[in-house]
């Protein structure tokens, strides 16, 4: 007993001074080898040979290291000592075979990294609740009509107020101006700056359960155009007032009017729908002015009462809607829909993200298969070393532990690199920004998935690295004679490896097919004719503050003069302006009514207020009639242009000169123009164009659109100086080219296709590596056979066929299986890509060509090596 305790203490002490233990052991074995060498020299060997013979007698070089390992294994406190030694040994082993190590780490890193990045995005965007208390009770209200039952239209302020007063299902309901932020100009020390302002009604912050840091939020009494109060975002408070705790009650001059600061929000508050806002101002919800049943511009958010579901709220809304239809039959064409806010925010992204997750899962699968293959090959190669050590008395458990440690070390290294890949990937994901992903700013790193990837790959490495070794040790029972050839176990394992490579090829086919389909969708999208020509078109916004441009006359005068000055700039071909750009989504949905055969009828159209030669600047063709000209004055007969689809839908081919009612007045159709897409997917929807000069009683934030022969930079600098010379307090805001705007619209598609492409290339590379590895292994195993065949007169071409045939078979099976998988995959793909035929034979043919080319490369190298076998060398190997 005492002896055992003493031995344990001694061992522990030895473990503590492990360095000393190692040195002692090294010296002892060196002592042995030197004496053995000396004896061999005395027997007449040359020094080199003597040295080699000594090592051989000791059991070979592997055995020297292995023996050390086993001596270590016999020391006391096994677990910790072993763990440290295993670790060191594993790192040494990794360094000894850099090829295997690098391939394994890269494989793992790509698999784990891609998955972690994509899953982190999915987790943040789709799975995690919106960042508000009880966010499952948040909803949005949208107006829909029978032509577009899934639509997400805006409401009229008067309808909204009725809902707020008559529906009990909502704890709070708040109106928001279109949910597109508006600009306001703040006069600063260096000239005017434009701030992003979001006009909101009372209850907006309450709906989000956000409380102000300082001051208060808006009240219902402030839902008026003349309530000059504002709430600052935390950032604006910091930048504009220098984080002044006494900022409440202070004044900011916005668009020339003095606003009183009544509140400051907390830095944590963000609105997932509207994003980046500098300050909030009250939205006017009073009847009269521009608020009518027909003017629809208001977005609405709400919070359901506890234990009230969307269906109940919808039922109550429908009751109120029915009453409104009776009261205002002109507006009975629309109803209002309640939609969960979470669903609305992630809409359109979820399928894409799930497809990408599936794709990255396939990449991880391929990575694991590759790892399995590598581990199998290595396990076979190490049979010799393992057999010797087992024969020397190493416990099987000991060997398994060491192999496991090696697998874990690889997995850890792969994981570390994977972490880097993931964080790069994640940064790339976020960089694509709000254009392609909602809630992009919320995306954070998901550690649990990294862990999952690590565990999966470690298990793979373990299963395929350790199992062969175990099977081997079981069969060996101490005899070493058999291991040198090791062919028996080799054949079954080679078949397994071929099957694994076949699986990889199949997965790669699926991914390449997916990438091909998405790429075609993207190309189609870019090739789509939006109905106008975005090349060489530059845009910017100008906001006329209502204080200094209080009436229609001053606004018309400004825009007319500004238009003439811009038109005179060198290189400008056509210039105009609108309140809503193409490709910016649907906006300003107004009712278009006329007297039909059965009395009043109509439908809703997209309304564009235009100034100057807007249609000319965008190259929109006039199909019939005329466009707006100098004859239009505020007092001449109101005129309107209809898009082809609007004209056809309303009047067939007899639209010209008809009278229609829109925006509260009657106007004559004087022209029919081409359809212009308001969405990147080519949807154009019926559109009506109204001349600004006749609709200037409202102050529009017009966006200037100019096609120029000179570049955008020259035009913008010219425009800036013209603007400054006309009114030094105005801001040339958000200068962009129309091509940039178009690119932003297809950012999501570009993103999906790029990511899928990356996955496909990775998959292809991994599959090719796997194929190459298997065939190289086959060749190296059969060098002797090849040698014999060559010696017996086989031609190179026959040998080549032997090796290549095997590769071709594996590839062919993989392609067939992959194609079946791709067909299953195609249905899901169809939902995220632009309208293309997903079962497209040329795409599939392309995939086969790519796979074939990569496979040919992977087959060619080992096959050539096989034909280069020198029969004499091959036979001497034994």
Partner 1 sequence: MSRDKSDVLLGTLDLLVLKLLEHGPMHGWGLAVQLESVTDGVFQVNQGSLYPALQRLQRKGKVRSRWGTSENARRARYYELTGSGVEQLATEIENWARTSGAVNRVIAFEGGAT
Nearest CB to partner 1, comparing residues 1 and 311: 1
The CB-of-75 to partner 1 minimum distance in angstroms stands at 7
Choose which of 15, 40, 50, 66 interacts with partner 1 (CB under 8 A). Answer: 66
Choose which of 31, 80, 809, 845 interacts with partner 1 (CB under 8 A). Answer: 31
* Structural tokens at position 522: 């993207």
Q: DSSP readout, 112-168? A: HHHHHHHHHHHIIIIISPPSSTTGGGEEEEEEEETTEEEEEE-EEHHHHHHHHHH--
Q: Does 59 bind partner 1 (CB under 8 A)?
A: yes
191-200/182-188 β-pairing? antiparallel
Total interface residues for partner 1 by CB under 8 A: 35
Instruction: Using DSSP, state whether 170 is helix, strand or coil.
Output: strand
Looking at the DSSP bridge assignments, the partners of residue 642 are: 672, 688
The CB-of-31 to partner 1 minimum distance in angstroms stands at 5
> What b-and-e string marks burial along 475-491, b requiring 16 or more CB atoms within 10 Å of the CB?
ebeeeeeebeebeebbe
Choose which of 228, 310, 392, 622 interacts with partner 1 (CB under 8 A). Answer: 392
The CB-of-34 to partner 1 minimum distance in angstroms stands at 8
Q: Does 436 bind partner 1 (CB under 8 A)?
A: no
From the list 32-40, 93-101, 204-212, 409-417, the region that binds partner 1 by CB under 8 A is 32-40
Give counts: helices (H), strands (E), the chain. Answer: 27, 24
Choose which of 18, 45, 70, 648 interacts with partner 1 (CB under 8 A). Answer: 70
The CB-of-390 to partner 1 minimum distance in angstroms stands at 11
CB 396 within 8 A of CB 390: yes
From the list 25-33, 88-96, 527-535, 807-815, the region that binds partner 1 by CB under 8 A is 25-33
Q: Does 3 bind partner 1 (CB under 8 A)?
A: yes
The CB-of-378 to partner 1 minimum distance in angstroms stands at 23
Q: Does 22 bind partner 1 (CB under 8 A)?
A: no
Please give the residues from 467 up to 526 whose contact with partner 1 meets the rule CB under 8 A: 478, 481
Residue with tokens 């393992």: 386
DSSP code for 291 = B
DSSP code for 442 = G
Q: Does 76 bind partner 1 (CB under 8 A)?
A: yes
Please give the residues from 291 up to 350 whose contact with partner 1 meets the rule CB under 8 A: none
Choose which of 73, 453, 691, 787 interacts with partner 1 (CB under 8 A). Answer: 73
Q: Does 394 bind partner 1 (CB under 8 A)?
A: yes
CB 541 within 8 A of CB 716: no
Nearest CB to partner 1, comparing residues 32 and 548: 32
Choose which of 74, 547, 601, 633 interacts with partner 1 (CB under 8 A). Answer: 74
Q: Say how far apart CA 405 and CA 81 lie, in whole Å.
A: 13
Nearest to 466 by CA among 366, 365, 393, 371: 371
Q: Does 57 bind partner 1 (CB under 8 A)?
A: yes
Residue with tokens 């793979």: 460
Q: Say how far apart CA 319 and CA 317 lie, in whole Å.
A: 5
> What b-and-e string marks burial along 308-319, b requiring 16 or more CB atoms within 10 Å of the CB?
bebeebbebbee
Nearest 5 degrees, angle CA 199-CA 200-CA 201? 140
Which run of H or E residues covers position 609? Answer: strand 599-612
Q: Say how far apart CA 228 and CA 241 lie, in whole Å.
A: 18
* Structural tokens at position 710: 């000179």
229-232/257-265 β-pairing? parallel
Nearest CB to partner 1, comparing residues 73 and 302: 73
Nearest CB to partner 1, comparing residues 70 and 740: 70
Q: Say how far apart CA 143 and CA 150 lie, in whole Å.
A: 9
From the list 44-52, 72-80, 525-533, 704-712, the region that binds partner 1 by CB under 8 A is 72-80
Nearest CB to partner 1, comparing residues 52 and 736: 52
Nearest to 214 by CA among 269, 151, 156: 269
From the list 56-64, 465-473, 701-709, 800-808, the region that binds partner 1 by CB under 8 A is 56-64
From the list 54-62, 283-291, 608-616, 849-857, the region that binds partner 1 by CB under 8 A is 54-62
The CB-of-844 to partner 1 minimum distance in angstroms stands at 58
Q: Does 85 bind partner 1 (CB under 8 A)?
A: no
DSSP code for 585 = -
Q: Does 7 bind partner 1 (CB under 8 A)?
A: yes
The CB-of-49 to partner 1 minimum distance in angstroms stands at 15
The CB-of-404 to partner 1 minimum distance in angstroms stands at 20
Q: Does 24 bind partner 1 (CB under 8 A)?
A: yes
Q: Does 384 bind partner 1 (CB under 8 A)?
A: no
Q: Does 84 bind partner 1 (CB under 8 A)?
A: no
Nearest CB to partner 1, comparing residues 29 and 761: 29
Nearest CB to partner 1, comparing residues 47 and 188: 47
Residue 334 neighbours by CB under 8 Å, 6+ apart = 143, 144, 145, 153, 604
Residue 447 neighbours by CB under 8 Å, 6+ apart = none
Q: Does 17 bind partner 1 (CB under 8 A)?
A: no
* Structural tokens at position 709: 């022969």
Q: Does 393 bind partner 1 (CB under 8 A)?
A: yes
The CB-of-502 to partner 1 minimum distance in angstroms stands at 41
In terms of Cβ atoms closer than 10 Å to its own Cβ (0-12, 13-18, 19+), residue 832 is: buried
Nearest CB to partner 1, comparing residues 477 and 797: 477
Nearest to 878 by CA among 793, 775, 794, 783: 783
Nearest CB to partner 1, comparing residues 75 and 314: 75
Nearest 5 degrees, angle CA 527-CA 531-CA 536? 80
Q: Does 71 bind partner 1 (CB under 8 A)?
A: yes
Choose which of 12, 22, 58, 648 interacts with partner 1 (CB under 8 A). Answer: 58
Residue with tokens 């992003």: 196
CA distances from 813 to 106, 151, 506, 634 (A): 26, 47, 8, 75
Which run of H or E residues covers position 553? Answer: helix 552-567
Q: Say how far apart CA 860 and CA 761 lie, in whole Å.
A: 20
Q: Does 37 bind partner 1 (CB under 8 A)?
A: no
Choose which of 228, 229, 365, 391 interacts with partner 1 (CB under 8 A). Answer: 391
Q: Does 35 bind partner 1 (CB under 8 A)?
A: yes
Q: Does 63 bind partner 1 (CB under 8 A)?
A: yes
Q: Say how far apart CA 177 and CA 296 lie, in whole Å.
A: 10
Choose which of 67, 230, 405, 578 interacts with partner 1 (CB under 8 A). Answer: 67
From the list 59-67, 231-239, 249-257, 459-467, the region that binds partner 1 by CB under 8 A is 59-67
Binding site for partner 1 (CB under 8 A): 3-4, 6-7, 11, 24-25, 27-29, 31-32, 35-36, 39, 56-59, 63-64, 66-67, 70-71, 73-76, 391-394, 478, 481
């Amino acid at each position: 007993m005492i002896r055992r305790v003493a031995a344990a203490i001694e061992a522990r002490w030895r473990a503590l001074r492990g360095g000393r233990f190692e040195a002692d052991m090294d010296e002892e074995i060196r002592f042995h080898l030197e004496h053995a060498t000396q004896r061999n020299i005395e027997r007449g060997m040359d020094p080199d040979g003597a040295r080699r013979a000594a090592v051989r007698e000791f059991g070979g070089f592997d055995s020297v290291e292995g023996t050390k390992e086993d001596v270590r294994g016999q020391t006391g406190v096994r677990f910790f000592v072993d763990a440290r030694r295993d670790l060191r040994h594993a790192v040494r082993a990794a360094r000894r075979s850099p090829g295997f190590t690098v391939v394994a780490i890269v494989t793992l890193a790509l698999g784990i990294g891609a998955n972690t990045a994509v899953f982190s995005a999915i987790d943040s965007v789709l799975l995690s609740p919106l960042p508000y208390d009880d966010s499952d009770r948040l909803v949005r209200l949208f107006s829909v009509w029978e032509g577009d039952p899934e639509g997400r239209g805006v409401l009229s302020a008067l309808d909204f107020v009725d809902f707020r007063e008559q529906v009990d299902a909502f704890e709070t309901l708040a109106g928001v101006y279109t949910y597109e932020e508006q600009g306001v100009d703040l006069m600063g020390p260096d000239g005017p700056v434009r701030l992003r302002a979001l006009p909101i009604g009372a209850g907006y912050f309450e709906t989000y359960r956000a409380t102000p840091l300082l001051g208060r939020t808006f009240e219902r009494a402030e839902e008026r155009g003349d309530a000059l109060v504002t709430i600052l975002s935390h950032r604006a408070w910091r930048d504009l007032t220098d984080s002044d705790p006494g900022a409440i009650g202070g004044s900011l001059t916005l668009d020339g009017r003095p606003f009183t600061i009544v509140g400051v929000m907390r830095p944590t508050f963000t609105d997932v729908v509207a994003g980046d806002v500098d300050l909030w101002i009250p939205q006017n919800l009073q009847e009269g002015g521009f608020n009518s049943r027909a003017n629809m511009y208001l977005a609405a958010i709400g919070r359901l009462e506890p234990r009230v579901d969307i269906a109940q709220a919808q039922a109550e809304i429908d009751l109120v809607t029915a009453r409104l239809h009776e009261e205002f039959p002109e507006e009975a064409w629309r109803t209002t829909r309640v939609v969960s806010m979470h669903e609305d925010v992630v809409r359109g992204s979820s399928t894409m993200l799930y497809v990408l997750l599936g794709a990255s899962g396939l990449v991880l699968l391929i990575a694991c298969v590759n790892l399995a293959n590598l581990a199998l090959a290595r396990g076979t190669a190490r049979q010799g070393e393992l057999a010797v050590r087992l024969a020397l008395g190493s416990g099987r458990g000991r060997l398994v532990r060491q192999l496991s440690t090696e697998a874990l070390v690889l997995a850890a290294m792969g994981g570390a690199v994977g972490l880097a890949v993931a964080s790069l990937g994640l940064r790339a994901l976020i960089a694509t920004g709000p254009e392609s992903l909602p809630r992009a700013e919320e995306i954070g790193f998901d550690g649990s998935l990294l862990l999952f990837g690590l565990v999966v790959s470690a298990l793979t490495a373990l299963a395929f690295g350790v199992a062969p070794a175990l099977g081997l040790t079981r069969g060996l029972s101490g005899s070493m004679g058999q291991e040198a050839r090791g062919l028996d176990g080799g054949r079954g394992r080679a078949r397994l490896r071929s099957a694994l490579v076949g699986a990889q090829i199949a997965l790669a086919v699926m991914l390449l097919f997916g990438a091909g389909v998405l790429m075609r969708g993207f190309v189609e999208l870019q090739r789509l004719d939006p109905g106008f020509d975005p090349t060489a078109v530059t845009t910017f916004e100008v906001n006329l503050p209502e204080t200094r441009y209080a009436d229609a006359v001053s606004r018309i005068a400004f825009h007319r003069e500004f238009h003439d000055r811009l038109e005179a700039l060198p290189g400008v071909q056509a210039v105009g302006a609108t309140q809503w750009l193409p490709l910016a989504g649907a906006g300003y949905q107004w009712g278009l009514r006329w007297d039909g055969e059965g009395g009043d009828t109509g439908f809703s159209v997209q309304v564009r207020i235009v100034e100057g030669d807007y249609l000319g600047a965008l190259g929109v063709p006039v199909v019939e009639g005329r466009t707006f000209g100098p004859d239009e004055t505020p007092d001449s007969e109101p005129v309107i242009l209809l898009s082809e689809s609007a004209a056809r839908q309303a009047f067939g081919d007899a639209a010209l000169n008809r009278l229609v009612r829109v925006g509260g007045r009657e106007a004559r159709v004087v022209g029919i123009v081409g359809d212009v897409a308001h969405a990147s997917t080519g949807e154009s929807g019926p559109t009506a164009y109204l001349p600004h000069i006749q609709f200037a009683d409202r102050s529009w934030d017009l966006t200037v659109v100019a096609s120029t022969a000179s570049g955008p930079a020259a035009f913008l600098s010219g425009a800036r100086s013209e603007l400054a010379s006309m009114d030094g307090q105005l801001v040339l805001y958000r200068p962009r080219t129309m091509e940039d705007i178009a690119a932003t619209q297809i950012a999501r598609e570009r993103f999906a296709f790029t990511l899928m492409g990356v996955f496909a290339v990775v998959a292809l590379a991994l599959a090719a590596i796997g194929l190459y590895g298997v065939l190289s292994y086959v060749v190296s195993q059969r060098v002797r056979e090849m040698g014999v065949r060559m010696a017996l007169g086989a031609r190179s071409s026959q040998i080549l066929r032997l090796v290549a045939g095997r590769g071709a078979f594996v590839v062919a099976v993989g392609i067939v299986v992959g194609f079946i998988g791709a067909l299953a995959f195609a249905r899901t793909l169809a939902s995220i890509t632009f309208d293309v035929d997903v079962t497209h034979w040329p795409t599939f043919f392309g995939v086969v060509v790519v796979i074939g080319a990569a496979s040919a490369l992977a087959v060619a190298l080992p096959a050539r090596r096989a034909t280069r076998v020198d029969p004499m060398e091959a036979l001497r190997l034994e």
